[in-house]
Structure 1
Amino acid sequence: MKVAKSCSQCRAAKRKCTAGIPPQPACTQCVQKGLSCSLLLGLSSNRQKPLAPAVAAPDYSERVSDKVRDQLVDVYLQLIHDKPHTLFHPETLKSRVQSGSLPEAVLFSILALAARFSSDPMIQARVKDFYQTAKESFKRALDEVTIDNIHATALIGNICGADGDPTGESLFFGISFRMAQILRLPEPSPEDDGIMRETKLRTYWSLYMIDQWSSAGLDMPRQIPDTSQHPLPMLELEFWQLRPGEQARGSMTRDRSPGLWGYMVILARIFGKIHELHRQLANGSLTDTETEEQTRVLALELEGFAQSLPSTLELTSGNLEHHAMLGLGATFVALHLGYHHYSTLLYFHYLDSTLTQVPNQALFAARCKYHAVAFSDLLSSSNEIPSCEALYFIVGHMTVISSSALLHTLLFGEPEELPDTRRRLYSNFQVLLKLKQYWSDVKMMITRLFTFQEACMRSTDQVYIVDKWIVKFLLQHALPIEKNLRPPFTQYLAERDRFAEDALAILRPAEHG
């Protein structure tokens, strides 16, 4: 009889087995996964001397106390979850954390995102340690296609993006997308309760949103196509109130009332079209007339979106305070920041006043400025209401785009516009400096703002000319932006530039920090 050289677990998985190789007799894969190695058991029964006990898998829970762990999970749920992504049922997540059933890759990704907001320097210093633990834990379970691993890779991809690692961001997001496709998300299984069905749905739409943003930011093809066959995420409060084993009313039907994240998905669909429009602009495949027509169509979609919002979701101070009371203030802010950001992107091209042959140039330019102002004002007011602050990473890029439109006004606008514009720029810059404390790659985003200023200075007298470079500036936020080389600026712009330099002075230390 042929002697087995690998354990049954490794044979079934068709992977290399390390059982019997010093310094430990048990298979490394079995040890790491807490399994009883079949080869070790067989060897033990045939030997008279007992083998040395297997080395236990590292216990990462010892690296952070339960109290700190639970506090960081709460910080994650408050500041990040339900903003750039919505992956978890909050009570289920906390229950799994406390019971120890949440995989380390997911837990330590959450800790790595949340620890940067801690007021304790010792906890802040462990962000990289948490991140490395999350990556190492995921790599040990790379071949397991589960919703937990989808969550782990989505979270790790977010951390890569925030740390200025576009390669890692693209890699981990790509794994997350492919695993979701293998599992046929968001299709539920017969045994799924309401929590799991909605979790799968929210995970799918989170990946859709991530794909929209990362494909634009990294200049990569999209992986998740547009579709209307799946229902939108349900009302957040109804989801939070679901209990294990319970089924949601109207579960998985397309005619149910969407929650805040449902409206975010609708906006993301429009953003995808705006991205495609900018891509065609960069390729030079559209005439000015075709560009104006597509802009007009997308403008109608954005206006239709705003008009379709229930009165309870319209941007008013009363609605903002009400959502803050419900624990949804920051998510409500995220929805409206997204609306104004996408609108600013759509119209940014028309800040180029040389487009005199375009009938709607002045109208579209005015709308760009309006939405940049509205974004800045909302961002400022959200900081004044508890639990409404927008502190997730991508806010940095959105704030740079708003600031760029404001900077254009500072350089080329009318004199009466300058005081309010300068005030809003200062407010935006305060947010950027705050975000830079938490997310290291915001530094690169701030540098892009100075690059935009220089591009303006190299435009013609009292005119900013939009070209292919601006498309990269607007969308490819995860990639470095090269300088836009043009002839030197004129005396008029030199005078305005000194005014702009004064306004930008608050950010100058950040450029070298």
Structure 2
Amino acid sequence: MAGWRACKQCRLAKRKCYGNDINKPCAQCLKRQSPCSKNMKMVRDPHLLPNQGQDSPSPKQDSFDLPQEVIVEVVEHYINKLHDRPHSLFHLPTLRRRVRDGEVNKALLLAICSLGSRFSADPEVYILGEQLTAESKRLVLGDLENISLESIQTCILIANICAADAKPSSEALFFRIATSMAQIMQLTTFKPGDSVVDCETRKRIWWSLFVADRWYSAGISLPRQISDRDRPTDLPMDETTFHTLAIDQKVLDTSYKPGLWAYMIPLAELFGPIQDLSRQIVQNELDETNIDRATHNLSCQLDAWEETLPSDMKLTEENLELHKSRNTGGTFVALHFGFHHYSTLLHFHYLDARPASHKERIYAERCKHHASRYSALLKFAREHEGFEAVYLTVAHMAVVSSSVLVHTLLFGDEGQISTARNSLNANFEALIELERYWPALKSMVQNTHSSFYPNSFELRLRFREDQASRSIPKHVPYICESTHPHA
């Protein structure tokens, strides 16, 4: 009919689109009882539970069908941009084969596609994220008693999406559902005959939950679900070895070698105590002597972690090239992002110390050092292929780094100011890029720009007020308190 334009769903599926009213769902979508872009009201907001009072028909289990080439595209985006960074949930040969053969649980597939769609250059695919998430939520919540590996993976991915959408309560809920499922099905208890791929996948899912537990729980002041020293299973093996295992391989035919994720776990074990110390400082529960003692202890543990890294895990130019050649460049920089971020947070308190003792000055310089190193590594990752760092946590860590850099910009000596300004600009450019993939970052990016840049009236005023005391701007410590991502 004249004036009729195909809906997004029909364009993606390459099918004829027709109907009688351009403001109502097309005939093809009505026939399939699927969401239609011509009537976006049919797609419910992704609340936690389905709205039973809605008049429009509920989508069927197989209602949201994407063309296979679109599925493959967005799954590869997920693998290349997110896999093994904030979480490690899949054996890649298994995932790719099951996607090819159409064997992936529908809720899980839609969650993967929702995350991967954010990186698509096709605007028709990019805008599908919200609908994919809503349908994935509907399916997994409608079958919540199905306690399985795929249900756990789905809940973890949905939790990451909730974090990206700035919904911390929903993020925590889905992470807690995933953790409870893992505990109920005894995820780390293996049976004779279990394949090495299955065992390693389950280990990685458990450790992904362990790391996530340290991040999201702090954001809304929840107690951690998994204890800091709870190690019910071995640490993950070398990533290259794991992803080259045959799908049905029963035993490991090479000697075990710990992977990058095996070194992330000890860092995450320190992150919990660092958060606890920061909370105690903010709540004035400790005197300076006890703060210094706790900081010294944790600082020594962070130093020991870095010093005892194997030679191929240390942050060097040679190792950057090595891990790029292994297709683990993104995971490698993620490991060192964590180290510099946790070190920055641990020593953050000492930027505000006055009058400063020798030890306090050393800790303040450590804070500045790690904030600068984080910025430099992020800049490197953005400028070189093979080190993709576009997961959500990168943005929040960049804000913490920037808060330290602005302190240097305001109160550092002449030799530090130019470097701090360049690093601050690099961080802001990274945040602008990340906003394309995670639109909920927009307000944070705007706040970062208005709060951190010297042409801001508010910052100039704060500079005049604080210059005499040489203290960090009062708003900065709360940036650390409000940082709670995991995607």
TM-score (norm 2): 0.82
Which residue of 2 is the match for residue 274 of structure 1?
274
* Superposition deviation, residue 416 in structure 1: 2.5
1:334 aligned residue: 334
Residue number in structure 2 paired with 1:473: 479
Match of 2:165 among 150, 163, 166: 163
**Does the aligned pair in 2 maintain the 1:242–1:248 contact within 8 Å?**
no
Contact 2:407–2:472 under 8 Å retained in 1: no
Q: Residues 468 and 250 from structure 1, CA distance in 2 versus in 1: closer, same or farther, beyond 3 angstroms?
A: farther
TM-superposed deviation, 1:394: 0.7
Q: Deviations over 1:407-452 (max 9, x none)?
A: 1111111122221111111111100000011112222433553457
Which stretch shifts more, 132-141 or 285-294?
132-141
Q: Please state how far the C-alpha of 1:250 moved relative to its aligned partner.
A: 8.6
Superposed counterparts of 1:240-319, under 5 Å: 240-249=243-252, 256-319=256-319
CA contact (8 A) 1:278 1:471 kept: no
Structure 1 residue 457, shift from structure 2 partner: 4.0
Shift of 1:465: 4.1
What aligned pairs does 1:415-434 form with structure 2 within 5 A after superposition?
Answer: 415-434=414-433
Question: In the TM superposition, what is the alpha-carbon distance from 1:279 to its structure 2 partner?
Answer: 1.4
Structure 1 residue 353: Cα displacement: 3.5
Q: Post-superposition shift, 1:81?
A: 0.8
Alignment of 1:431-446 (within 5 A): 431-446=430-445
1:157-196 matches, cutoff 5 A: 157-196=159-198
Match of 2:233 in 1: 230
Structure 1 unmatched runs, 5+: 1-54, 480-513
- Alpha-carbon distance between aligned partners in 2 of 1:191 and 1:130, rounded to the nearest angstrom: 36
Cα contact 1:349–1:466 (8 A) shared by 2 = no
Partner of 2:209 in structure 1? Answer: 207
1:6-405 aligned within 5 A: 57-60=60-63, 62=65, 64-226=66-228, 227-249=230-252, 256-356=256-356, 358-405=357-404
Which letter maps to 1:324?
K
Change (3 A) 1:98 1:165: same
Equivalents in 2 of 1:451, 1:234: separation in Å? 43
Contact 2:168 2:219 survives alignment (8 Å): no
Q: C-alpha deviations, 1:114-135, integer Å up to 9, x for none?
A: 1111111111111111111111
CA deviations over 1:287-315 (Å, ceiling 9, x no partner): 10110111111111111011111111111
Distance of 1:155 and 1:211 partners within structure 2: 14
165-174 or 395-404, which moves further after superposition? 165-174
Q: What's the TM-score, normalizing by structure 1?
A: 0.78
8 Å CA contact 1:188–1:197 kept in 2: the answer is: yes
Q: Does structure 1 conserve the Cα–Cα contact (< 8 Å) formed by 2:323 and 2:332?
A: yes
Letter matched to residue 367 of structure 2: C
CA contact (8 A) 1:115 1:123 kept: yes
Paired AA for residue 231 in structure 2:
S
User: Are residues 462 and 312 of structure 1, via their aligned partners in 2, closer, same or farther at CA, if it must alter by over 3 Å?
Assistant: farther
2: CA distance, partners of 1:420 / 1:381: 15
Contact 2:168 2:216 in 1 (8 A): no
Cα distance in structure 2, aligned partners of 1:198 and 1:74: 21
Take 2:301 and 2:63, find their aligned partners in 1: how far apart are those partners? 49
Deviation, 1:269, is: 0.7
Distance in 2 between residues matched to 1:459 and 1:184, nearest whole Å: 56
Greater Rg, structure 1 or structure 2?
1
* Alpha-carbon distance in structure 2 between the residues aligned to 1:149 and 1:468: 43
In the TM superposition, residue 326 of structure 1 has moved relative to its aligned partner by 1.1
- For residues 473 and 209 of structure 2, the distance between their equivalents in structure 1, rounded to whole angstroms, comes to 31
Change (3 A) 1:468 1:376: closer
Greater Cα offset, 206-215 or 238-247: 238-247
What's the CA shift for 1:105?
1.2
**CA contact 1:83–1:334 (8 Å) conserved in 2:** yes
Structure 2: which 5+ residue stretches go unaligned?
1-57
Please identify runs of 4+ aligned residues in structure 1 that moved more than 6 A: 466-469
Give 1:355 shift. Answer: 4.6
TM-aligned CA distance change 1:447 to 1:345, over 3 Å: farther
Note the C-alpha offset of 1:59. Answer: 2.0
The alpha-carbon deviation at position 228 of structure 1 amounts to 3.5
Aligned residue number for residue 43 of structure 1: none
| Pair 250,206 (structure 1): closer, same or farther in 2 beyond 3 Å | farther
Count of residues paired in the alignment: 420
Q: CA RMSD in A?
A: 2.3
Q: Which amino acid aligns with 1:461?
A: Q
Q: Find the aligned partners of 1:477 and 1:71 in 2 and give their Cα distance.
A: 32
| Alpha-carbon distance change, 466 to 380 in structure 1, aligned in 2, over 3 angstroms | closer
Q: Relative contact order, CA 8 A, sep 6+: which one is greater?
A: 2
Amino acid paired to 1:295: T
Change (3 A) 1:195 1:468: farther
SS of residue in 2 equivalent to 1:289: helix
Determine if contact 1:321/1:385 at 8 Å carries over to the other structure.
no
CA, structure 1 residues 469+229, in 2 after alignment: closer, same or farther (shift >3 Å)? farther
Distance verdict in 2 for CA 1:258–1:411, change over 3 Å: same
User: Contact 1:403/1:428 (CA < 8 Å) preserved in 2?
Assistant: yes
